[in-house]
A = this chain, B = another copy of it.
Amino acid sequence: METKAPGRKEREYRRRRREILEAALRLFSTNGYHNVTMNEIAVQAEFAVGTLYKFFSNKEALYRALMTEKLDEYLQEWDSAVDWTGDEISIIRESVKAHVGIFNRNLDYVRLYLSEAKSASFSLRAGMEQEMKTKIRGMTDKVAGVFERGMRKGIFRRTNPLYMMLALDGMIDAFLLEGLENPAISIVEPDPILDLFFNGALLKERDEDA
């Protein structure tokens, strides 16, 4: 299980593979999985169909690779953008800001994720949805953990930390989603949302971010 020494061959392979995935992402995110043909992907990636099959065993495998690998990047970027050692309020703030930032830098992927990933179209061939949920779970649990700690310290109102996490996440997603379709609302600075959230999450009325 050598992990080191990629080597020219390997690197070239990786690069081509990545090019295919990026071409596919562009197409899928605008047209949707079922409205993109392997031929179109091939053209966009500047390969022939046959070649795609040297990289991915079929269309769905290509799609799955795309979704799961992007998700990994997304979550990893998120995780490393946050300093998880600070005080609970700062962590939540940072976490949300990181999320918003990464979201805005990956609109193609996000659009695809929201429109197709939860789609029942794949629930039969299944697996992927579950796999993705597990990955995401790691992150949400981490955030819920922060809430829990904050609750013990008397910073946050006492509830099920998971609920609090869900509430925050739901709020953020609602804004991000709205911004996706109505760019006028697009968030860059999540402070107003955090403010709205904290003044429910904090045990006492505070001067949150003035």
Binding site for B on A (CB under 8 A): 28-35, 111-112, 114-116, 118-124, 133, 157, 159, 162-164, 166-167, 169-175, 178, 181, 185, 192-193, 196-201, 204-205
A166 touching B178 by the CB < 8 A rule? yes
A124 with B31: CB separation less than 8 A? yes
Please give, as numbers and ranges, the residues of chain B lying within 8 Å of A164 by CB-CB distance: 196
Residue of B nearest to A170 (CB): B174
A34–B199 alpha-carbon span in the complex (Å): 44
- Chain B residue nearest in CB terms to A28: B120
Shortest A124–chain B CB gap in Å is: 7
Minimal beta-carbon separation of A83 from chain B (angstroms)? 25
Task: In the A-B complex, list the 7 residue pairs whose CB atoms are closest, starting with the nearest.
Answer: A170-B174, A200-B200, A32-B120, A32-B121, A199-B200, A170-B170, A170-B171
Between A170, A172, A181, the greatest number of chain B beta carbons within 10 A of the residue's beta carbon is seen for A170
Q: How far apart sit A98 and B68, CA to CA, in the bound complex (Å)?
A: 37
Contact across chains for B166 and A175 when beta carbons are under 8 A apart: yes
Q: Which residue of B lies closest to A177 (CB)?
A: B170
Q: Taking each of A116, A133, A196, A205, which has the highest tally of chain B beta carbons within 10 Å of its own beta carbon? A: A196
Answer whether A32 and B119 are a contact pair too, CB < 8 Å, given A157-B199, A197-B200, A199-B199.
Answer: yes
- 12 of the cross-chain contacts (CB-CB < 8 Å) are A30-B123, A31-B123, A31-B124, A32-B120, A34-B34, A115-B119, A115-B121, A116-B120, A119-B119, A170-B170, A171-B174, A199-B199
Whether the Cβ atoms of B111 and A120 lie closer than 8 Å is: yes
Partner of A171, one of B159, B171, B185: B171
Task: Give the interface centre of A111, A133, A162, A178 by most chain B CB atoms within 10 Å.
Answer: A178
Taking a contact as CB atoms closer than 8 A, the residue among B115, B162, B170 that contacts A173 in the complex is: B170
Given contacts A121-B33, A174-B173, A196 and B116 within 8 Å (CB-CB): no
Verify B35–A120 contact, CB threshold 8 A: yes
Question: Which residues of the other chain, B, contact A181 by a CB distance below 8 angstroms?
Answer: 133
B112, B201, B205: the one within 8 Å of A205 (CB): B205
